[in-house]
Structure 1
Amino acid sequence: MHNVIAHGASIPALGFGVFRMSGAEVEQIVPLALETGFRHFDTAQIYENEADLGRALEKAGAKRDDLFITTKIWIDNYPAEKFAASVDESLDKLRMDHVDLLLLHWPNDKVPLADQIASLNAVKAAGKARHIGVSNLPTKLMAEAIALSEAPLVTNQVEYQPYLDQTAVLEAARAAGLSLTAYYAMADGKVVTDPAIQAIGARYGKSAAQVVLRWLVQQEGVIALSKTANPKRISENFAIFDFTLSDEDMAAIHALARPDGRIVSPPGLAPVWDR
């Protein structure tokens, strides 16, 4: 495992996400993920499983100092009168006095971005978040958020998988010293059956999923979130640091990007994307 450094944050390059996981699944899988070596866990208020994650980590006897925990503020909690209280509620559920990374989950122009960023900074100043960042922001909004923030933003968490070219946002993030955290790496399962990715995997003795996670973390400044509810897949997803993709293979995966490759773009939440 290696860490990505961004504005003083040292973030494990491979995280375990619990999006769309039930409480029972979180409580079953998280101890196995810990045993395998995962220390970076990613949740969100809207996932409604922060309490399950906190309980699972506590039951497994995980040492808080060994963990890197990310959660995200839901858009309904952006108003100043709700923001801090929602963070306290998240911390209660997680059974922690701080998170390592706190993100704004989606853009929401009903609350001025300056106010959202000010609330984020206040939480950090109060010691309830070691680092702060954003999620699902295109380059224009990311630049605005960076300019508005007193404390440095350390990541922009976005959909990033082989069929979606994220060059614009990745280059802008790098230029500003931010990392890029990639979610939906498996493109809703499409990469697992992709013949081109399978062929690359066969050359390394790795699965298509391992190849894509490796492709992500092999890019400068990129953190990958893996996710599985299948106990057998956990160790597979973690075993991506014992091989290196060739430049040709990296380029071949980049070449799979297509104009309609974006999967996550919910109406009413999605901003105007870079592509």
Structure 2
Amino acid sequence: MPDLKSVQSPRPAKHSMEEATAEIAALKSQVRHMQGLVSLGELTGTATHEFNNVLMTVINYAKLGLRNEDKASRDKALNKILDASERAAKITNTILAQARNRSDAKEPTDLVALVNDTLVLLGREMQKYRISVETDLAENTPMISASGNQLQRLLLNLMTNARQAMGEGGTLLIRVGAQPAVGGQPETVELTIRDSGAGIPQDVLPKIFDPFFSTKSGPDESGKGGTGLGLAACKDIIDEHDGKIRVESSVGRGTAFIIRLPVQASQKAAA
């Protein structure tokens, strides 16, 4: 009679497969946590740098106003201080919104407003590297159901990558608009981020969303990039929002990331 234990031997292998699946899930969770930390660090660094620039503007024009007693000079200084203060308010409001909303819960989200907020954070950085930013943001773009925190990380990653791909000088185009339902596909909001940088070789394109894969040797002088987690995080965010992404790139001519995100269900019903 065969030994009962030998008949039941496949069962430990099944248990081992379950353990392997659990370990893979845990590793993916750790990677996502690291991606979040990297994005948070870059957001904090960017905001701090921008706020410091604004503060220096306020200080310099305050000194100018104190040195000159004529009304024209003081009016100019006060107007510059007012402009800088309003910019500082936009930066702090963007950061405070992130701090208040720590969850990744999805809610009605205005993608155009998120793009504008992100450009406030990156505006001076683009100027520093002589990047010309062009926008084509359609009015009355439908809302999407999304986590504002996650989408802002997505925007920061893609815009920073575009800036790094161009080095000194170049053009960054950001386009947002609605795409109608076609052939059974739902109505979407399409986001395009196109740079005029170095482009990505065709043999590298399939790997760019792999965790820890990077074409950079490390962070640049701004302290950003080179971890291999930025684009992997972007892909995860898009997947979690039931979106689609495609990449168009040509070496020497630039790269475009085209993302489509489904329109919020309540707006579809209203339409």
TM-score calculated relative to the size of structure 2: 0.26
Query: If each structure's helix is expressed as a fraction of its own residues, which one has the higher value?
Result: 2
Larger RCO: 1 or 2 (CA < 8 Å, sep 6+): 1
Larger-gyration structure (1/2): 2
